[in-house]
Structure 1
Amino acid sequence: MSNISLPRRGAALAAALMSASLVLTACGGGGDDSGAEPAATGSVEPAATGSAKASETRSVKAENGTIEIPAAPQRIVTIGNTNLPFIDLGGKPVGVTEVSPSELGVLPAEQKTVYEAAEVVGSDGGEVDLEKLAGLKPDLILVQFHSSDWDKVGKRLESIAPTVFWGLDTEWKAFADAIAEAGNVADALSQQKAEFTAKVAKIKETYRKVIDGTSFVDVSRGSWNDPGTFYIADIGCSEIARDDIGLDLPEAAEGKDPLAYESLPFEQIGELSKYDVITYPVDAQGRPMEPFVPVVETNTWKSLPAVSSGRALGVFCPGNNSYGPVIRYLDSLDSALATLPAAK
């Protein structure tokens, strides 16, 4: 499973949130003998590390090759989808790019404080100010965005500081491993992995009979969906429920696009009656997420057997790109499964 939230994945959804191309606001110069583009005009130079530890390096492998990075980086800038996973692991970036209000809104208070303390070097629209970035004198830049954007700007970023790049299809657990290694926050990762493993084992043991004998379907709706449509979720947090917990959830046939890429009309809500349990998205307070409200307000939804019998479960998914939000999702799923009659 990749670590990209649903709106950034599908062909139909790509226009909404997926591959925002980076438009570099600093102007490039005429190049040098290496063929790499300069970071910006005028006085902007690659950040110098200068400290005694600067000579202590180690190698990490990423999509842009084997990169020599500081053994203990102190001034890290995160770009794209690396922002929140690095902070989730206890990292304190000196520079970040913007995240959406919805992503920021579900962060734990302490992580939000860390994010807001960093210098914003680019907007959610994908613009990165190279002069501002270089002025932070980073000793490491962590990047995840579309590979086509890397082709456009990778050399510019690498001219400022060692840069580690991952593409959008990096599986979320591998992504956490890689960020922890590059960002020197492996201790926090070990703790999170242990907690994740324990929670998965607890849920599987506690609800073994429910899991083995129940058909589930995870349905959702995003702000990008056309009016009067919803989708069956088979990626994102539902993928964790299926692959790690073992819930019997529908998924696309091998080699086919995820079911989540297809918008279904409200007229097909009634077809959900063939499933024993329905899960749907709620916020941290247990209220249906705003884009999903039109679904729960339909008479067809209200008349579904799962809904009328208390087997429609609201589950909170703050994200699926690092262990912290996934653990919060598992807590919500645990609480939701506990309300099923078969679990009592």
Structure 2
Amino acid sequence: MSNTPLMRRGAALATALMSASLVLTACGVDGDDTGDKAAATRSDKAAGTRSVKAENGTIEVPVAPRRIVTIGNTNLPFIDLGGEPVGVTEVSDSDLDVLPEEQRTAYEAAEIVGSDGGEVDLEKLAALKPDLILVQFHSSDWDKVGKKLESIAPTVYWGLDTEWKAFADAIAEAGNTADALKQQKAAYKEKVAKIQEAYGKIIKDTSFVDVSRGDWSDPGTFYIADIGCSEIARDDIGLDLPEAAEGKDPLAYESLPFEQIGELSEYDVITYPVDADGKPTEPFVPVVKTNTWKSLPAVSSGRALGVFCPGNNSYGPVIQYLDSLDGALATLPGKQ
């Protein structure tokens, strides 16, 4: 989609606004209290805004923004924090399907302003009159539309390599949802401690492997997951899970043929993806149907655990993941 016509209209609008600004400035010249009025205006503006730091610099945002548009990966994390955006970009049906009802309602109440981060309808976005735009997508998309977004409203941008906890902190700061974040952090901390206490011996003495398969995977392949929810289980819970060597691509980037499923027998426990109903996710079904999978010691002894991961970039879905992991660990034979 070409944005050239929108750019021209945006330029014309900017020129008109600049002309109006000049006229208003000229009208105030005759008054003796012009300086006092200007100072008061600056003071009011300062009182109504605050500075936040992001990848596009230090941004002045409203203290209490009311009309927020979320673009790219900021959609669901902001809604997870209780936010109600007036505009959003599209998310997948699979992501919407696992949202709590009130969050899905909040998403569906917003105006769709684009199919993804780089394909934003700037005219539709501007018509929403946002007072804040939250953005996370690839840097190439930012290069394409970043300046245009900034011309519409204060825009806070994060790159894709932002760690999820820092991302939640930043969204809460910019979007004024600190109270909700505080509650989520407390719940997360409590859940982690509960799992570590309940399964301390298992965590200490058991080797795990997390395997998965996506709808993008080539036929007859799977991968070992060492990022996403698996990363949380390894780094925060302490599960002994394989990970890539430092400086190397994640193991999840390598597609493995079904012929290598048998190599999973070296691990005590296998975790794999299931949906909210506890059934293997559709892309993973071909794995569990293989005879090699069925003959794995972990599978035949009840040590293959289906775990539900609705997302891993905000506290709400991560806590759901930990709830599922807790329930799965509780089924292990000889659990603590």
TM-score (norm 2): 0.89
Q: Which letter maps to 1:28?
A: M
CA distance in 2, matches of 1:129, 1:110: 26
- Check if 1:97 corresponds to 2:89: yes
**Aligned: 1:242 with 2:221:** no
| CA-CA distance at 1:151 after TM superposition | 1.5
Give the aligned CA root-mean-square deviation in angstroms. Answer: 2.0
- Per the alignment, in what secondary structure is the counterpart of residue 99 of structure 1? coil
Structure number with higher helix proportion? 2
SS of alignment partner, residue 342 of structure 1: coil
1:170 Cα deviation after fit: 0.2
Following superposition, the deviation at residue 25 of structure 1 comes to: 7.4
Superposed displacement of residue 318, structure 1: 0.1
Contact 2:118 2:144 in 1 (8 A): no
SS at match of 2:217: coil
- The residue type equivalent to 2:137 in the other structure is F
Q: Give the whole-Å Cα distance in 1 for the aligned partners of 2:126 and 2:173.
A: 23
Equivalent of 2:184 in 192, 205, 227: 192
Q: Is the 8 A contact 1:23 1:128 kept in 2?
A: no
Structure-2 change in CA distance of 1:291 and 1:24 (3 Å):
farther
Deviation by residue 1:19-69 (Cα, 9 ceiling, x = unmatched): xxx96475312xxxxxxxx746669988xxxxx986610000000000001
- Give the Cα separation in 2 of the matches to 1:220 and 1:92: 33
CA-to-aligned-CA distance 1:78-104 (integer Å, 9 cap, x gap): 000000000000000000000000101
Corresponding letter in the other structure for 2:95: E
Residue 254 (structure 2) aligns with: 262
Q: Higher relative CO (CA 8 A, sep ≥ 6), structure 1 or 2?
A: 1
Whole-angstrom CA distance in 2 between matches of 1:303 and 1:202: 33
Q: Aligned pair 1:28/2:7, yes or no?
A: yes
Separation in 1, partners of 2:197, 2:2:
49
Give the 5 Å matches for 1:1-344.
24=3, 27-29=6-8, 39=10, 56-124=48-116, 126-343=118-335
CA offsets, 1:208-260, max 9 Å, x none? Answer: 00000000000000000000000000000000000000000000000000000
Inter-partner Cα distance in structure 2 for 1:314 and 1:155? 44
Structure 1: runs of 5 or more not aligned: 1-21, 30-37, 47-51
In the superposition, relative to structure 1, how do residues 66 and 86 fare at CA in structure 2: closer, same or farther (>3 Å)?
A: same
Aligned residues of 2:184 and 2:315 also touching (Cα < 8 A): yes
Displacement, 1:153?
1.2
In the alignment, the residues of structure 2 paired with residue 28 and residue 130 of structure 1 have an alpha-carbon distance, to the nearest angstrom, of 9
The alignment partner of 2:7 has SS state of coil
Three-state SS of the structure 2 residue aligned to 1:278 is strand
Larger Cα Rg: Structure 1 or Structure 2? 2
* Counterpart position of 1:49: none
**Cα contact 2:208–2:240 (8 A) shared by 1:** yes
Work out whether residues 25 and 130 of structure 1, in 8 Å CA contact, stay in contact via their aligned partners in 2.
no
Q: Distance in 2 between matches of 1:165 and 1:45?
A: 27
